[in-house]
Amino acid sequence: MKKVAICLIVCLISAMSFSQDKPAYIIYDKNGEVVSYTDMLNSLAAGDVVFFGELHDNPIAHWLEFEVTNDLYTRKNGNITLGAEMFEADNQLLLDEYLTGLISQKRFEDEVKLWNNYKTDYKPLVEFAKEKGLKFVATNIPRRYASAVAMGGFEALDSFSSEAKSYMASLPIQFDAELPGYKAMLGMGGMPGGKGHASQNLPKAQAIKDATMAHFIHANLKSGNIFIHYNGSYHSNGWEGIVWYLLKSNPELKIHTISAVTQADMSKLQDENKGIADFIVVIPESMTRTY
């Protein structure tokens, strides 16, 4: 009875704390237990690859990406490699030229394909890589090739040149249409034809992105280094997407995943968010969006 009473008191104190404080984020493990930032960092530092599954328009997620990167850089004595969905493989040369000082910041930003929120959300990571002399890998497939798959399936890629194919995962790629993430996409629509032929290819377009990102991550792994990859959470949630393809290349890799979510009630992890990643960063729904 005494243990039960103590437990109730602890729960009551926790609930009161959540109601009185205004935390910008709370970290949970996959089972819904609260973990500290330090505990999460200790786990991340012991692995080979970290996937930070972000909400693209969330400032807390972007701030934490930078903090995790900076702290892992310190923990690993600079032995980290960065990579991101937000840069397409055919822009690797421009990225390398900028990071090594061969071209100016203006020339880089004028010529590379940048997301609209680059300056607020991704530029700090690129500048960190430049300052520290880190490799930053443009992992994503050029969008024109993903669009070709969305319209015509994987077969559409057969007509492209060998140079074009150097910017994507080696063909043919494995594809499991029964993976929950890909199955869910069939109900999303969003392509000409609704639920017709084009929408049947949506999961394939996602898969070629995931496979390509896994391909370039794998190609840039280095013993003793941690590869930190920034991507939308849907590319790594449930250890599917990029993670699934990367483990096909090397099942022995120690991979940790982070997923950012929003909740109105942060005092506990909602059931639908349990088990989506090793660490779930819960952020208030009321948090300002960057765009």
The 10 Å Cβ neighbour count of residue 288 is 9
Q: Which residue has the higher pLDDT, 62 or 291?
A: 62
Q: Is the pLDDT of residue 5 over 80?
A: no
Q: What is the pLDDT of residue 82?
A: 99
Which tokens go with 282?
Answer: 């819960």
Q: What is the pLDDT of residue 188?
A: 62
The closest alpha carbon to 35, from 288, 286, 282, 285, belongs to: 282
pLDDT > 90: percent of the chain: 86
Please, which pLDDT band fits residue 86 given cuts at 50, 70 and 90? Answer: very high
Q: What is the pLDDT of residue 1?
A: 47
Please, which pLDDT band fits residue 186 given cuts at 50, 70 and 90? Answer: confident
Q: Is the pLDDT of residue 194 over 80?
A: no
Q: Is the pLDDT of residue 99 over 70?
A: yes
Q: Is the pLDDT of residue 115 over 70?
A: yes
Which residues, 6+ apart, have CB-to-CB distance to 76 below 8 Å?
45, 225, 226
Q: What is the pLDDT of residues 203-248, one digit of tens each?
A: 999 999 999 999 999 999 999 999 999 999 999 999 999 999 999 9
CA distance 189 to 126: 34
Q: Is the pLDDT of residue 17 over 60?
A: no
Q: Is the pLDDT of residue 288 over 60?
A: yes
Distance of CA 1 to the CA centre of its chain: 45
Q: What is the pLDDT of residue 21?
A: 82
Please, which pLDDT band fits residue 20 given cuts at 50, 70 and 90? Answer: low
Please, which pLDDT band fits residue 276 given cuts at 50, 70 and 90? Answer: very high
Domain ranges (residues) in the chain: 25-284
Which tokens go with 36?
Answer: 């500290």
Q: What is the average pLDDT value for the chain, to the nearest integer?
A: 92
Please, which pLDDT band fits residue 144 given cuts at 50, 70 and 90? Answer: very high
Q: What is the pLDDT of residue 92?
A: 98
- CATH top-level class of 25-284: alpha beta
Q: Is the pTM of this model over 0.85?
A: yes
Mean pLDDT of the 172-196 span: 75
Please, which pLDDT band fits residue 255 given cuts at 50, 70 and 90? Answer: very high
Q: Is the pLDDT of residue 15 over 60?
A: no
Q: What is the pLDDT of residue 189?
A: 52
Asked if residues 228 and 72 have their Cβ atoms less than 8 Å apart, the reply is yes
Residues in the chain: 291
Q: Which residue has the higher pLDDT, 2 or 147?
A: 147
Q: What is the pLDDT of residue 213?
A: 98
Which tokens go with 42?
Answer: 């200790």
Which tokens go with 192?
Answer: 């000409």
Q: What is the pLDDT of residue 6?
A: 41
